[in-house]
Amino acid sequence: MPGTGTFRIGQIPLGTAVEDYSGNDIKPVGVVWARAAKIRFGDSTNINQSSYCSSFNLQFDPTGLITNVASSSFTVGAEGTYQLSFHCRTTGGVRTNAGFRFELNGNVQPERFLSNYSRGGGAQQGGTHNFGGDGGTLLYEFGSSSTIVRILGSQQGNSGTVTALDGAITIIKIR
Amino acid sequence: MNLSELRSDCWIIDNFLTESEIEELTNHIQKIEWVMFDDVQASNFKQPSSKGFHVLEEDFEIIENKYLRKILDLNFSGMPKIEKFDRVLYNCFEKHDTPLPHTDSLTEGCWTFIIYPNTKWEPEWGGETKVMFSPNRMTEENMQRMDLVSPLPGRLLIIPGDVLHSGSGTSVNTPRYSMAYQFWNNK
């Protein structure tokens, strides 16, 4: 048979079988990816810059990506690069917070467009939150084999709050 | 043009571009001043970047508008109802590039149309677009699916913008070009 050497195949999705022509499983053991989970949250709690969204519950996790779900957090059980997508229905009062931030193992992440940070105007200054929802998508590197994820309010709104009615987080391991 | 259904909401149109259109786009792409581009904002790390260049809708020039019109003139059963696009993203992937999977938008009703203006391409040269699943429609079955679409000359790939996807590096020294019209449906 011509051609010896290295056969490179890249990453194999978790659910993709690799078989020989006799149907035997020859899938290599290694890194799996495209593992995904969906977590719902929200109970109309008022969230400010030092309080967390709560009432987390696991909706979808066929590969066991999430190792624990608590009232206001969930734990991811593998290091790697993740896409975290977040969306939440909100209401605001006279003075509301500007949005939300992720916290990973106690480290608060930059605001970016997850919150109203880039929208300017009253919301950024702590004024009325004029949007019925908030959210965004960011990539994060989880350097630990166990990462606790929480969502807290933005610091852009000073002492204001935003009411987190309900929402969802989807998390996908992309590397 | 040859239309084929990749999935119920993804299509491939081969020979979308004529040879003269490929040549026109190739000449246009040669003049692009590439920047090192990230696909999605990364918050706490530096992701691998590759050559890209984007043009927002308000800055579309004659060539972006020409192929925008050609897309909007498509007429087949299932063709997404789109009146405008938010931007065109040009990508140039080269040997050893490792772009990350990403979504272009997470709003339902968003779409991405990717044109491959490569004058020649062999499947073994790599550079495929990997099409995965949408975080908005996660099921155990569709999470396990990944389609590889080779960037054949003149091909058009149509996917929902909320589907996780990525380009790929090449196995040869020939750069792989693509031109993605994105409709984010954010407004």
In a domain, residue A30? The reply is no
**Residue A104 CB contacts under 8 Å (≥ 6 apart), including other chains:** A140, A142, A147, A148, A149, B44
Is A174 an interface residue toward B (CB < 8 Å)? yes
CB–CB of A172 and B45 under 8 A?
no
Q: Which residue of A has its CA nearest to B135?
A: A170
* Contact call for residues B37 and B47 (beta carbons, < 8 A): no
Write down the mean pLDDT value for chain B: 91
In a domain, residue A11? The reply is no
pLDDT band at A126 (very low <50, low <70, confident <90, very high): very low
For residue B58, what pLDDT is reported? 94
* C-alpha gyration radius of chain B: 15
| Digit-coded pLDDT (tens) for B43-93 | 778 877 899 999 999 999 999 999 999 999 999 999 999 888 999 999 999
Residue B103 has pLDDT above 90, yes or no: no
In a domain, residue A23? The reply is no
CB–CB of A104 and B44 under 8 A?
yes
In a domain, residue A1? The reply is no
* Mean pLDDT value of segment A21-43: 76
Distance from CA of A118 to the nearest CA of B (A): 14
Chain A residues within 8 A of B103 when measuring between CB atoms? 83, 85, 137
CB–CB of A14 and B143 under 8 A?
yes
CB–CB of B143 and A135 under 8 A?
no
In a domain, residue A47? The reply is yes
Chain B residues within 8 A of A135 when measuring between CB atoms? 106
Is A11 an interface residue toward B (CB < 8 Å)? no
pLDDT band at A114 (very low <50, low <70, confident <90, very high): very low
**Domain residue limits at A57:** 36-173
Model pTM?
A: 0.82
**Residue A70 CB contacts under 8 Å (≥ 6 apart), including other chains:** A56
Chain B residues within 8 A of A104 when measuring between CB atoms? 44
Is B44 an interface residue toward A (CB < 8 Å)? yes
Q: CA torsion sign, B97 to B100 to B103 to B104?
A: negative
| Digit-coded pLDDT (tens) for B3-49 | 999 999 999 999 999 999 999 999 999 999 999 887 666 677 887 78
Q: Distance between CA atoms of A64 and A35, rounded to whole angstroms?
A: 8
Highest mean pLDDT among A153-162, B125-134, B171-180: B171-180
In a domain, residue A4? The reply is no
**CA angle, B15 as apex, B14 and B18 as ends, to 5°?**
160
In a domain, residue A157? The reply is yes
Q: CA torsion sign, B129 to B164 to A118 to B60?
A: positive
* C-alpha gyration radius of chain A: 20
Q: Which residue of A has its CA nearest to B144?
A: A15
For residue B98, what pLDDT is reported? 86
Q: Distance between CA atoms of A52 and A43, rounded to whole angstroms?
A: 11
Q: Which residue has the higher pLDDT, B39 or B121?
A: B121
Residue B153 has pLDDT above 90, yes or no: yes
Q: Which residue has the higher pLDDT, B61 or A119?
A: B61
For residue A162, what pLDDT is reported? 74
Q: Which residue of A has its CA nearest to B168?
A: A10
Q: Which residue has the higher pLDDT, B147 or A100?
A: B147
In a domain, residue A20? The reply is no
Chain A residues within 8 A of B106 when measuring between CB atoms? 85, 87, 135, 137
Task: Specify the number of domains making up chain A.
Answer: 1
Q: What is the CATH number of the domain that holds A67?
A: 2.60.120.40
Q: H helices within chain B, ranges in order?
A: 19-30, 62-72, 140-143
CB–CB of B102 and A83 under 8 A?
yes
CB–CB of B45 and A60 under 8 A?
no
CB–CB of B106 and A137 under 8 A?
yes
